[in-house]
Amino acid sequence: MTWHRVVCTPSVPERSDVVVAAMFAAGAEGVHEDGATLVTHLPATAYVAGFIAALRAADAAVAVTTAPLEDVDWSLAWRSRIGAHRLGALTVAPPWLADGLPVATTVIIEPAMASAPVNIRPRVASSGCSRRRSVPATPSPTSGPAAPCWRSPR
């Protein structure tokens, strides 16, 4: 489905709230404020001329432009915004960009699996253990018991 992009600039900044209210009243489901410019998107079935008339009723001197937006398959298009990142000698990359990168220095992370935050803290045993290990701050049923602490050889 083609969408309509509607960009408007109120005649004076003080009229912005009135124009935003008119946009919502005329059927906008969201409004993006970009400085003095207001932007919304309307579905192809929207009556754009009526929408513009409602804006002009709120502010007779409002500047309005419209442009059609073609459909985008966002299930694939989002990948164009994801890139590989160098972290010292390591490269962190999604699977579709990992081909051709050195296997020994590439960490492949599926973006859908990287969204869960992990709360970790260093843990040092009080028994004089010299080994540090990161463990979850709040143990979960799936994390299992903490690994044993070994003393370093002397």
Nearest to residue 146, comparing CAs of 125, 127, 128, 126? 125
CA 65, 70, 75, 78 dihedral sign is negative
What stretch(es) of the chain map to CATH 3.30.70.3400? 3-69
Per-residue pLDDT reduced to its tens digit, 66-111: 999 888 888 888 888 889 999 999 999 999 999 989 999 999 988 8
Name the DSSP class of 123: E
- Domain 3-69 CATH class label: alpha beta
Quick one: residue 107, left, alpha or beta (phi over 0 = left, psi -120 to 50 = alpha)? beta
The model carries a pTM of: 0.53
2-42 pLDDT per residue, tens = 889 999 999 999 999 999 999 999 999 999 999 999 999 99
